Amino acid sequence: MKLTCPVFDNGEIIPSLYTCEGKNTNPALEFHDIPPTAKSLVLIIDDPDVPPEVRPERMYDHWVVYNMPPTTKSIPANTKPPGLQGKNTSGKIGYTGPCPPDREHRYFFKLYALGTMLDLEAGATKTEVEKAMKGHILAKAQLMGRYEKGKGYCAG
């Protein structure tokens, strides 16, 4: 299974259009080679580089999406994906773009293929989704992008 983005490759800079310095909308994502036995997909975007004085656990969840149909091949830019959306760290439903307070951060886009649908209502947290998907992960793909505020990256 593979997760790609047409506006940045793994390890590259996320264009500012998709951050708090731009339109703060999700970039397009493409899903490849989903296992044929998958019953649902989960997408989690998080940042493990948060300063401890901002968040003691050093993690910020930017997007939690679950129970996406396994036939989903992409999420276009600036759209709500199929499935259910969970709460990000700000307590809001939906995507919140990169906005690091101190330096360049890494943003991990993680796609999971599950052998089940999750028995969760809309608005679940990343912790709740991760707990519910334990033992049901068939495959995982990851894409990492980087961003630092104030660097004037192109809009992509």
* Residue 151 pLDDT level (bands cut at 50, 70, 90): confident
Q: What does pTM read for this prediction?
A: 0.95
The token duo for 44 is: 């989690």
**What pLDDT digit, counting tens, does each position of 5-48 carry?**
999 999 999 999 999 999 999 999 999 999 999 999 999 999 99
Give the E-state strand segments of the chain in sequence order: 2-4, 29-32, 40-47, 60-68, 74-75, 84-85, 105-114, 137-147
Question: Does residue 121 have a pLDDT over 80?
Answer: yes
State how far the Cα of 73 lies from the Cα of 69, in Å rounded to an integer: 9
Residue 56 CB partners (closer than 8 Å, separation 6+): none
Question: Does residue 110 have a pLDDT over 80?
Answer: yes
